[in-house]
Each structure stands twice: as structure tokens, then as C-alpha cells.
Chains A and B, each alone.
Chain A
Amino acid sequence: MPETRFTKDHEWVRQDGDAVTIGITDHAQNALGDVVFVDLPEVGREVAAGEACAVVESVKAASDVYAPVAGTVVEVNGALAADPALINREPTAGGWFFKLAPKDAAEIAVLMDEDAYARFVESEA
């Protein structure tokens, strides 16, 4: 299994062949609560690192999801339209959001690893 990296906005990023898969962390889904809708980017859209490109709506509020690295959207998770609660049940597996073809794969390596993210979450608490 390829290594997962994390952002300060609570996205996870996983190298998946030429693409990277992006979702939100278990910590993030827990903070959001029951997800009821996801607004996903168009396939083919070019995004900059840190650009808001998806929105996740819980009963209570809407939250942006950011592109962890620059790239082109190559696929979105169609299963979320019918079952957005997948994000709560399987945040780091079936609840993925979209895949990017990264502009520069080296951008991924500078993101937090699992331990660093765990420390970051703790520091925010």
C-alpha cells in the first residue's frame, strides 16, 4: 500500500499509479458529522495547490475541500452522489473524493506523514 500523506486542511493524499487519490481524514469526517451532500470538481479541471475544489455538506454546515497539490482532475468518486455517508463510514477508502494527475509529484513528499499529522491534530485540539 503506498504511503498516505496529509494536509493541514485535513485532506489525505495517496499515490495511485500516475494519479493521486484525495479524500478527507477520519478526524475531519468526525468533526463534520453526518455528510449529506458532496459537490465534486469537473473532470479535466486544472487546480492549484490549496485551491478549493470540492465542498462537503453535513447536516450543520458546508466545508471546502482543497487540492493538496497542483494538477488536473482525472476522476471523481461517483458513488458519493447516491451515498455521501460513505465519507463517514470509510473516509480513507470508499469515501475518497477525486483523483488528480499531479503537475509535480514531488509536491506530495513535502506533505505531513501519518505521525506528523497525528501530532498536528493533537496540537489543534
Chain B
Amino acid sequence: MADTESLLETPLGGLHRALGGRMVGFAGYAMPVQYPAGIMAEHLHCRGAAALFDVSHMGQAEILGEGAAAALEQLTPADVQGLKPGRQRYALLTTMLGGIFDDCMVANLGDRLFLVVNAGRKAEDFALIGAALPPGLRLNVLADRALLALQGPAAEAVIAPLAPALAALSFMGVARAEIGGIPVLASRSGYTGEDGFEISVAADQAEALARLLLAQPGVQPAGLGARDSLRLEAGLCLYGSDIDETTSPVEAALTWSIGKRRRTEWNFPGAERVREELANGPRRLRVGLKPEGRQPARAHTPIQAADGSTVGEVTSGGFGPSLNGPMAMGYVDRALAEDGTALDLMVRGKALPARIAPTPFVPHRYKR
């Protein structure tokens, strides 16, 4: 068991314990990996109704001042300047060598940019961004805000009577609103493949908001365990496992996050490598993998070709409760990345037959 004493608490730590959450250390925070219902039930409830996650460990910040979008484009290949007010976009921060420094969400709030970054990278991200801003621009780290994710097909029906303006958002829309009198900043997005909302709220009102949402019909709490199996079924990357400073956006099959204009300017960090890989193909590619039978293959499982040569490694793997079977993602040599290619996953020294499979493993159900 992890020592949870030296860990940071989110504003919902007390609520997690009151709900019977099993607390574990994650990115320096004490977080619920599951509640008494268990990962399987929490996962299925999210796909069937609505689940509430505490993701307050993630980093939130805003960039203020004229030219914020152009300034952020110094660090990312995403089209930030083309992002319309009230819209959010997935963005990669890239390194000079074309690796991925972090992945994040960036929203245009009209008078500022709003960022949500990974918990395990927030200190590094904010240092990087702060140092890159020219005079007149300011990074404001929002350490006093919590973040809740309400995810699942019932999320809209839950939000509609409380905040009609939020229910009217389409996927990746962002708006300020009040939920039960509590001011929030919400986006129609998430990390589960389902419709839903990520809701930023002042830390001192987070528990009241969480309790209000949990009191709505169809809403149950879900922990990090279900969050991980949901995002893997949805084919979404976990920073530090599936993507990191060694993987490029092209290898990670995240080229869609590179703006069209940016592919003519080539003025983002690591553009040289990205340009070369787009032209000639990367050495390896991130792919989905479906093992035969029921046995999961976990992260770091070696991937072998039929001739016994090692051609890659699993970066995330587990059992998909909605898929009702095992699933994984990992990197393989580009020549073997075609859907349907048969490979062996070497689980505890034994070959587990698998095939390259398209992701998402479970179809997305975003509200476009």
C-alpha cells in the first residue's frame, strides 16, 4: 500500500473518504482509485448513465494579455490563433527534438486562454509556458480551483435543469455558468469517450458542487481505476505511459492535433522531426492491440513478430469492461502497424497472440 500521508489533498479529499473511496497516491495526490462499487461497476455506470470524477489534481491556468495565442504557439503545433472564443482544443506541447513535453486542453475564453494540463507535468509545463511569454503577457496558475468531470450519456440530462446554457454546448464548447448558484467554467469534453462536461470550480465550493451533482438521478462517483479503463477503451493517450518526450506527435498518431497552418509555417518546437516523419513516415507508430481470449497484456509487455523479433512494446493495457475483453495500445515498427496484423505479446515469457486493432475500442459518443 502506498504511504498516503505525504500526499497532497484535493478539495474533495474529505468527500472521497466519506464515500468510502480507496485512496492511492497518484502524481503526488491522494486520489480515489475506486469507491465501494468497484472499478467494473463504476466503468459500466459511466457508459450507461453518468459518473462523477474528481480531477482536481490536474493543472489549471490562464494566459492573459494581447497575443496570448501567438505566444502559446511557440510551444505547440496546435492552431491556437484559429481557436474561436468559446471553443477548446486538444494540444501537444512539443520539445525541441520533436518529443511530447505534455498534452493539454486549451480554451479561448475571449479575453484569455484557459489551460488544463496533466497533474504529473504541471510544474514543468507552467515553468515552460511562463518562461516563453513575452512582456505584457502573464501566466496565472489557478491553484485554488478544483476540476470535476461529469461523464456519460446521462450527463446532459443531469446538467440541463441546473445550467441550461451548458447543456446547449457542443463537443469542445466552453462557457461560464452557474450550477445551483455556484459559478463554474465548464467545457463539453472529457477523457472517457462519452459525452460529458469538465467543470472548473473554486476550491471552496467544490464539495458543494460535487454533492449537488451526486444528488442528481443517475450520477455515481467513479475513481481513477475506471477513468483509466474508460480512456483506454476510448483510445486516448495517458501522458507518461503512451506519450512522453521520446515519442513524436507523428509516432503517437496525434498528427490531427497539428494545425493546417502550422504545417506550412513549421515554426513549432521539434518541427524538423515532425516534418521529416510526415514526409517519410515515422520509424514506429502507436497502435491499438487486441489480445486473443481474455488475458490482458499490461504496459511494458514486449511485442514480437512471427519470426520472434521484438518489434515494439505495450504502453497501456488492461481489460475493457464495456469491450468485455482485453485491450492494449503500444508502439510497433511502421511496417507492422496495419490493422489486422498478427503479433505476439510476450506476457510473462509466454506468447499471447494479438492483432493490431483500430481505436477507439469502444466508439466515442461525443455531442458534436
Q: Which residues of A does B touch, CB under 8 Å?
A: 33-34, 36-37, 39, 55, 57-62, 81, 84, 124
Contact = CB atoms under 8 A, between A and B. Distances in A.
A60 B318 contact: yes
Contact of A60 (B225, B294, B326, B348): B225
Contacts, number: 46
A59 B40 CA distance: 7
Contacts of A39: 295, 348
B226 to A, nearest CB: 8
Contacts of A36: 294, 296, 319, 326
Nearest to B298: A62
Contacts of A124: 1
B229 interface: yes
Nearest to A59: B39
A81 B294 CA distance: 9
A37 B295 contact: yes
B130 interface: no
Contacts of B38: 33-34
Interface residues of B, number: 19
Interface of B: 1, 33-34, 38-40, 43, 225, 228-229, 294-296, 298, 318-319, 321, 326, 348
A33 B319 CA distance: 12
Contacts of B298: 61-62
Contact of B318 (A55, A59, A81, A84): A59
Nearest to A62: B298
Contact of A59 (B1, B229, B294, B348): B229
B35 to A, nearest CB: 11
B39 A60 contact: yes
A62 B39 contact: no
Contact of A33 (B1, B39, B228, B348): B39
Contacts of A57: 295-296, 319
Most chain A Cβ neighbours within 10 Å, of B40, B43, B326: B40
Contacts of A33: 34, 38-40, 225
A59 B298 CA distance: 11
A55 B40 contact: no
Nearest to A88: B38
Nearest to A81: B294
A39 B38 CA distance: 22
B296 A37 contact: yes
Given A33-B38, A33-B40, A33-B225, A59 B319 contact: yes
Contacts of B40: 33-34, 59
27 contacts: A33-B34, A33-B39, A33-B40, A33-B225, A34-B40, A34-B321, A36-B294, A36-B296, A37-B294, A37-B295, A37-B319, A37-B326, A39-B295, A39-B348, A55-B348, A58-B319, A59-B39, A59-B40, A59-B43, A59-B225, A59-B229, A59-B318, A60-B33, A60-B318, A62-B298, A81-B294, A124-B1
The 6 lowest CB-CB distance pairs between A and B, nearest first, are A34-B40, A36-B319, A59-B39, A37-B294, A37-B295, A59-B319
A58 B229 CA distance: 11
Contacts of B1: 124
A60 to B, nearest CB: 5
Contact of A62 (B228, B294, B296, B321): B296
Contacts of A34: 38-40, 321
Nearest to B229: A59
A61 B39 CA distance: 12
A37 B320 CA distance: 12
Contacts of B225: 33, 59-60
A34 B295 CA distance: 14
A15 B33 CA distance: 36
A23 B36 CA distance: 23
Contacts of B294: 36-37, 81, 84
A42 to B, nearest CB: 12
A64 to B, nearest CB: 9
A60 B319 CA distance: 8
Contacts of B296: 36-37, 57, 62
A124 B38 CA distance: 21
Nearest to B348: A55
B110 to A, nearest CB: 41
